[in-house]
Chain A
């Protein structure tokens, strides 16, 4: 396979786009990662007027919650099965202006709610390394397409760890920049205060190049930042000598799989060998255990309001009914999967006037406490590291997890910290266990994406897993 940079140097635009399309179609039976294949001819014709750059003529995929004008965008939900946006998401305009060719809209957990990619209206996405396993979610389709070598770049979105967890399961780089770094305008939301636009690549350099294109203030997203966008790629350096790394000790202690622990320790040694200063840090255990419940409350409360527009009246799949009210009720009941309906009920419950103070508002206060404590914990360090997951990708039918165990509450959900704080956070391949990838998660302080790219470059040298892809097709 090849990274974006290598593809540009070794192929013509038509070659790489046609190859990507061919691979996307060929891998679809095994991966089920694509919701909609996009016609590329018109995009190729428009290319001439576009200046050269990292995305020039580059085949890419978009998570199916990214609105694309004139191209079906379903967010993997039945209620949006027929939805064709009238506008482009901000990042789509940016990517197109940079010459990117969208070849596919990628599968996801329905409305980005989930971590398995088992809830998509089009069915599960299968892990490119083992088709009996999950790709992870919610950006599972995007992760799988990059991991299978179909495209060198795919957009995802990350509300809990929806880019960084599938990146771990699929062995690719999954980047979630600082909250406000990339405009969310045109991304079908999950939870507005936690949602981030993220993306997958197979190299640190590609990731650094991509952010320069995607980042920047957009007046249509008031939460997007005026913070200047640096030239990350030009500054990219795998030299981590003297850089300060914090090991997230609570997470290491909660790891269930000793092989993952050993792999992590090896990684730490390698970083030390390269001159990084590595120390252990901890967060209050009660706060750590509160992450998941606080997350679910905030996310579901915001989601229930965010998705109130999906009523079948103005767009989307409309069910018949004798009154407007009945049309709305029927459309919503039939349009959403059971998991979504469950989350809406939880969200509504948390917002009721008699519950809001002790549930939603309390969750927001807990979030604030966690953010303050994490800031304190990280203040002397460049990055905070821990395994992105305590194990390899689970089997599709694995229901064994105990959601109240430390292993689950802490080891599987610590990456939500990146969404609570808005800090940039990135998962890179750490190694392979029995032929399956395991990821390392790295979190930096606000606006310091550069440290993540630098450490990602160092990790490529340590693991040799730059441009790692799974062999999907015979």
Chain B
């Protein structure tokens, strides 16, 4: 039977605030266990929550980027359950009035762009992290109270590819906003996928499963595709899908049952009495929206305008930091394509050789632009540029390097013509070859000129002049 796949995705994203959602303890990834905690994070008696303004500001910007309606009256609720990673015995969240509603993002699919609607975005606090060992359980409360936004999609996603594209879209958007590190492998972005199947053309939703433990974007697609296959097989064999939580197992690339959902848990949500509703100032919201950095779609459009190839655009947009660097380079040059090529290809290759990250990039944007300008201006050849770049990677100025190495490109027409004719005189066979339609001869002759000029001849000009001089001799 043909089935329609229904997928909804919940994403939890840690906000990159200085302090926690409701306490003044610092938010630091990778700090020694239980060093970023105070009495509030540990749920000590008598402690009270104080809302982090920066977190609200980030949520407002996230809502804006995801085309959501913002509820200017911020309210919080308690979600009650007992668990050792939940110090207060309740989590403060926004159950009844999420700060954002009714948004969407657009993803690229094989059939063109598609809108995925977003039901809600709400703020809440993270739990502590538990480590289970045979000897017992260890709890690190550093994460307890870290601000989170939870973003819940409508069930608009239809395939593993779409699921991956949606998660990727949210990831880049939030990363561009600078509100989160969005590192799935570190858990600063976590993704739960709900999947059900229904016979194509029917209305009623099938039984869904929820997949957790997806620690990379590619695993989202793999897990979804496996789960679709699994459910299809069950249904085709006349069986019934069990409502349950499953986890993705990376080793076997399958999903494994974690727990059955036997009746929903009653979290006894009720409004948080220690936080009165907070009315956000319309002007404050406007200021936050105006201060938002460029979003990926806008950057993409800008790069299309610059005439960059599609693959370059995709690569740059997906790598915000690299693209930010590219934009810096473009402040000092007008040669978009060549600059893009150097930023995308040569720079990362050079950094890899030096075992450096982009954040440690020693090449000033001006230097990179200078190098590009020197190439385009014919001052050095592309081949020379690569030699120069070796030292630019050491932090040197490209002009100075070229000078030190005595690199100059011979671009003087009369001098080049003299060289060309000298070579042609020495290579009569090549003239004959050219006459016989062997275009390769030109390449050989260019090489000879380059050799004679010790690599300084401008290759493009040389090429052009050789053809002109050959024609004169035929």
Contact = CB atoms under 8 A, between A and B. Distances in A.
Contacts of A352: 266, 268
Contacts of B78: 305
Interface in B7-53: 38-39, 42-51
A221 B48 contact: yes
Given A85-B44, A308-B88, A309-B88, A302 B273 contact: yes
28 contacts: A66-B46, A67-B44, A67-B46, A85-B39, A85-B44, A85-B46, A86-B39, A86-B44, A87-B38, A189-B45, A191-B273, A220-B50, A221-B50, A222-B276, A302-B273, A304-B80, A305-B89, A305-B270, A308-B88, A309-B44, A314-B42, A314-B44, A328-B82, A348-B268, A352-B266, A352-B268, A353-B269, A360-B270
B36 to A, nearest CB: 15
Contact of A308 (B46, B89, B276): B89
A70 to B, nearest CB: 13
Contact of B43 (A186, A309, A360): A309
B275 A305 contact: no
B414 interface: no
B77 to A, nearest CB: 11
Nearest to B83: A324
Given A221-B274, A314-B44, A351-B270, 6 more contacts: A67-B44, A189-B46, A304-B80, A309-B45, A311-B82, A352-B268
A205 to B, nearest CB: 30
A80 B89 contact: no
Contact of B273 (A83, A192, A353): A192
Interface string B300-328: 00000000000000000000000000000
B382 interface: no
Contact of A324 (B90, B137, B268): B137
B48 A87 contact: no
A113 interface: no
Nearest to B40: A220
A203 B45 CA distance: 32
A351 B80 contact: yes
B285 to A, nearest CB: 20
A184 B82 CA distance: 25
B18 to A, nearest CB: 16
Task: Report, as a range, how many residues of chain A touch the other chain.
Answer: 35 or more
Contacts of B275: 222-223
B87 interface: yes
A223 B76 CA distance: 14
A311 B44 contact: no
Contacts of B82: 308, 311, 325, 328
A356 interface: yes
Residue among B42, B48, B51, B266 facing the most chain A CB atoms (10 A cut-off): B48
B257 interface: no
A50 interface: no
B429 interface: no
A353 B44 CA distance: 27
A353 B266 contact: yes
A187 interface: yes
A226 interface: no
Interface on chain A toward B: helix, strand, loop, or mixed SS?
Answer: loop
B84 interface: yes
A199 to B, nearest CB: 17
Nearest to A66: B46
A187 B48 CA distance: 9
Interface string A293-317: 0000000011011011111011100
A55 interface: no
A193 interface: yes
A327 to B, nearest CB: 9
A75 interface: yes
Contacts of A126: none
A158 B80 CA distance: 25
Interface of B: 38-39, 42-51, 78, 80, 82, 84, 87-90, 137, 266, 268-270, 273-276
Interface string A413-436: 000000000000000000000000
A65 B270 CA distance: 25
Interface in A272-331: 301-302, 304-305, 307-311, 313-315, 324-325, 328
A305 B44 contact: no
B274 A222 contact: yes
B439 to A, nearest CB: 78
A222 B268 contact: no
Residue among B88, B137, B269 facing the most chain A CB atoms (10 A cut-off): B88
Nearest to B86: A308
Q: Which A-B residue pairs are the 5 nearest by beta carbons? A: A308-B89, A351-B268, A192-B273, A309-B43, A193-B273
A325 B82 CA distance: 8
Interface string A165-185: 000000000000000000011
A310 B51 CA distance: 23
Contacts of B38: 87
B184 to A, nearest CB: 28
A356 B270 contact: yes
Interface in A209-223: 219-223
A288 to B, nearest CB: 24
A87 B48 CA distance: 13
Given A193-B273, A222-B274, A87 B45 contact: no
Contacts of A356: 268, 270
A222 B48 contact: yes
B274 A80 contact: no
Contacts of A80: 45
A83 B270 CA distance: 28
Contact of A87 (B44, B51, B268, B269): B44
Contacts of B88: 308-309
Contacts of B44: 67, 85-87, 309, 314-315
A356 B44 CA distance: 27
A305 B80 contact: yes
B270 A309 contact: no
Nearest to B278: A222
B89 A309 contact: yes
A222 B51 contact: yes
Nearest to A351: B268
A315 B269 CA distance: 25
B49 A222 contact: yes
A48 B152 CA distance: 59
A350 to B, nearest CB: 9
Residue among B38, B89, B137 facing the most chain A CB atoms (10 A cut-off): B89
A314 B43 contact: yes
Interface in A64-96: 65-67, 73, 75, 80, 83, 85-87, 89
A86 B25 CA distance: 15
A188 B273 CA distance: 15
Given A220-B50, A222-B274, A328-B82, A353 B268 contact: yes
A224 B38 CA distance: 21
A223 B84 contact: no
A364 to B, nearest CB: 9
Given A305-B90, A353-B268, A219 B42 contact: no
A192 B266 contact: no
Contacts of A65: 45-46
A103 B47 CA distance: 24
B276 A223 contact: yes
B164 to A, nearest CB: 35
A185 B46 contact: yes
Nearest to A86: B39
Given A305-B78, A308-B80, A187 B46 contact: yes
A467 to B, nearest CB: 32
Contacts of A315: 42, 44-45
B39 to A, nearest CB: 5
Nearest to A73: B45
Nearest to B24: A220
